[in-house]
Amino acid sequence: MRNGLSDESSLKKDSIHFTDIPNHNEELIDLATEETVIHMQHAIETGRLIRDKINVPMKYPLSKVVIVDANE
């Protein structure tokens, strides 16, 4: 990753592990998007649990999935 940075860049370190994590901007956080992602993650986790319960490996695609949730 560091090969794309100029030698003058403050981000260019001997290893990416020495690069600081930038500060975040609270104003850029979209709570609606975070809520949607949380719902999506729950649906994925539930699907994986059901696949495990009925012994259907992840490598086999499902022909249909129906998710019922109170939140449209």
* pLDDT for the residue numbered 21: 79
Task: Please give the pLDDT value at position 33.
Answer: 95
Mean pLDDT, range 3-22, rounded to an integer: 77
pLDDT of residue 35: 92
**pTM flag (> 0.75):** no
CB neighbours of residue 12 within 10 Å:
15
What are the residue ranges of helices labelled H in 6-72? 31-53
Cα→Cα distances 49→19, 43, 69, Å:
37, 10, 17
What digits encode the pLDDT tens for the residues 28-48? 999 999 999 999 999 999 999
